[in-house]
């Protein structure tokens, strides 16, 4: 039986926005089922903020979200919406929410999504709650964003395969992973796949230092190596770095592999399904308790609400000690 005291919310809107991430469907399912459990209706909003402005709404119930827990992508679809960045766009969105009788909004996405949600809340007083869904893991207020675990596992699987061919041909591979301004995927996958070097936007190793590392390992008998490069580093990612290295050091035959959007697809891992389920339920219950303009996260295995303003403005940075460990292990 529902035990949480409802402060008056009768209908919630839910949308996914920005880059999709495995586990977003699990979060949608959790939002819809938790709402139903507490006697609240849910409007699914399609295409993120684009659909919010256009009024692309559809009522969802507990059965509408059957068999989506293990599916990648987002059944609500997603977009990056320029109009919502302007006050006029947000006013039109608010009109749609009123027209559909929506009392509160849950947005699943990353920092761009939360910036829009925070403005909507400030300008129109709408209770909003963010759920962090992004493969990049670059959101303050949660240890892990939904999708990060699945994406890193995908990267590790791909790099293990690249290693087979790198070893067979004695080659040096530069593997580019996603993370425009965040090195979480590069760092975790780099450690798990045994990269010789990991190039992060937050801590870019110099070309000379990288060459020294490659030379030392080659002298100690390594015949092939893998460098993991986060996109956005070196002003051009893996291709730019490979060029800079080979201009000065040509001991290895070199190849570049850009993993790209395959990192965003696939069935969510167990971990992502669980955190998405937990966050989805707590997002609904937080709204019921009267929380607003905040994001649900999980820190040290406990559900935590962080003001959206902090989630947007404060940094979540990779653990530098993991970088040190990666360097020790790459000799
Ligand atoms: O969702 C985050 C992310 O995957 C980043 O890592 C990447 O830089 C960006 O999205 C790519 O966005 P798009 O799919 O719009 O090209």
Which amino acid residue places its CA nearest to atom 11 of ligand 1? 19
pLDDT at 10 over 90: yes
Listed range (147-156, 188-197, 227-236) with the worst mean pLDDT: 227-236
Which atom of ligand 1 lies at the shortest distance from residue 110's CA? 1
Nearest residue (by CA) to ligand 1, atom 1, is 19
Q: How would you class 67 by CB atoms within 10 Å of its CB: exposed for 0-12, middle for 13-18, buried for 19 or more? A: exposed
Is the domain covering 148-264 a CATH 3.10.290.10 domain?
no
Catalytic residue IDs = 136
**pLDDT for res 2:** 56
pLDDT tens digit string along 272-321? 999 999 999 999 999 999 999 999 999 999 999 999 999 999 999 999 99
What is the pLDDT at residue 180? 87
Per-residue pLDDT tens over the stretch 200-211: 998 888 999 999
Q: What is the C-alpha to C-alpha distance for residues 239 and 191, in angstroms, rounded to an integer?
A: 21
| Model confidence at 141: pLDDT above 70 | yes
Whether 156 and 192 have beta carbons less than 8 Å apart is answered as yes
Quick one: CATH architecture of 11-147+268-313? 3-Layer(aba) Sandwich (3.40)
Are 256 and 173 in contact, with CB atoms under 8 Å apart?
yes
User: Is the CB–ligand 1 distance for residue 22 below 6 Å?
Assistant: no
Euclidean distance between CA atoms 170 and 252, whole angstroms: 7
Pocket test for ligand 1, best of 178, 184, 187 (most atoms within 8 A of CB): 178
Q: How far is the CA of 324 from the centre of ligand 1 (A)?
A: 27
- Does pTM top 0.85 for this prediction? yes
| Residue spans per domain, the chain | 11-147+268-313, 148-264
Q: What average pLDDT does range 189-200 have in this prediction?
A: 97
Whether the CB of 233 sits within 6 Å of ligand 1: no
Angle at 246 between CA 242 and CA 251, to 5 degrees: 120
Instruction: Measure 200 CA to ligand 1 centroid, in angstroms.
Output: 16
Q: Give whole-number Cα distances, 47 to 64, 116, 273, in Å.
A: 17, 14, 22
Task: Provide the pLDDT for residue 236.
Answer: 83
User: Of all atoms in ligand 1, which is nearest to the CA of residue 232?
Assistant: 8
Q: Is residue 177 in contact with ligand 1, taking CB distance under 6 Å?
A: no
Residue with CA at minimum distance from ligand 1 atom 15: 19
**CB of 135 closer than 6 angstroms to any ligand 1 atom:** yes
| pLDDT tens profile 241-277 | 999 999 999 989 999 999 999 999 999 999 999 999 9
User: pLDDT band at residue 328, thresholds of 50, 70 and 90?
Assistant: very high
Q: Could you please report the per-residue DSSP string of 54-104?
A: HT-EEEE-TTTTTT-TT--S-TT-----SGGGSHHHHHHHHHHHHHTT--E
* pLDDT score, position 5: 63
Instruction: Give the chain's mean pLDDT.
Output: 96
pLDDT band at residue 233 under the 50/70/90 scheme:
confident
Average pLDDT over residues 126-143: 98
Are the C-beta atoms of residues 311 and 114 closer than 8 Å to each other?
yes
40 ligand 1 Cβ < 6 A: no
Domains 11-147+268-313 and 148-264 share a fold: yes
């Amino acid at each position: 039986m529902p035990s949480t005291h409802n402060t008056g919310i009768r209908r919630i809107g839910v949308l996914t926005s920005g880059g999709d991430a495995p586990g977003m469907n699990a979060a949608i399912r959790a939002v819809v089922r938790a709402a139903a459990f507490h006697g609240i209706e849910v409007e699914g909003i399609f295409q993120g903020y684009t659909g919010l402005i256009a009024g692309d709404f559809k009522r969802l119930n507990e059965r509408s979200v059957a068999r989506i827990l293990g599916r990648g992508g987002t059944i609500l679809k997603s977009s990056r919406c320029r109009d919502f960045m302007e006050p006029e766009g947000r006013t039109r969105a608010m009109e749609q929410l009123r027209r559909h009788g929506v009392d509160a909004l849950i947005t699943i996405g990353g920092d761009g999504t939360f910036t829009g949600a925070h403005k909507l809340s400030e300008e129109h007083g709408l209770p909003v709650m963010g759920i962090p869904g992004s493969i990049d893991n670059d959101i303050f207020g949660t240890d892990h964003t939904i999708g990060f675990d699945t994406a890193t596992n995908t990267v590790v699987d791909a790099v293990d395969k690249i290693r087979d061919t790198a070893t067979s041909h004695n080659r040096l591979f530069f593997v580019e992973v996603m993370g425009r301004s965040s090195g979480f995927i590069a760092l975790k996958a780099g450690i798990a796949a045994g990269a010789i070097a990991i190039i992060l936007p937050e801590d870019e190793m110099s070309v000379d230092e990288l060459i020294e590392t490659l030379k030392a390992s080659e002298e100690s008998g390594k015949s092939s190596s893998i460098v993991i490069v986060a996109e956005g580093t070196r002003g051009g990612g893996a291709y730019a770095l490979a060029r800079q290295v080979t201009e000065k050091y040509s001991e290895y035959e070199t190849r570049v592999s850009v993993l790209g959007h395959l990192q965003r697809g696939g069935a969510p891992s167990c971990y992502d399904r669980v955190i998405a389920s937990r966050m989805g339920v707590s997002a609904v219950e937080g709204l019921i308790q009267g929380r607003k303009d905040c994001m649900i996260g999980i820190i040290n295995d406990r559900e935590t609400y962080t003001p959206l303003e902090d989630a947007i403005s404060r940094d979540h940075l990779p653990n530098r000690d993991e970088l040190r460990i990666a360097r020790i292990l790459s000799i």
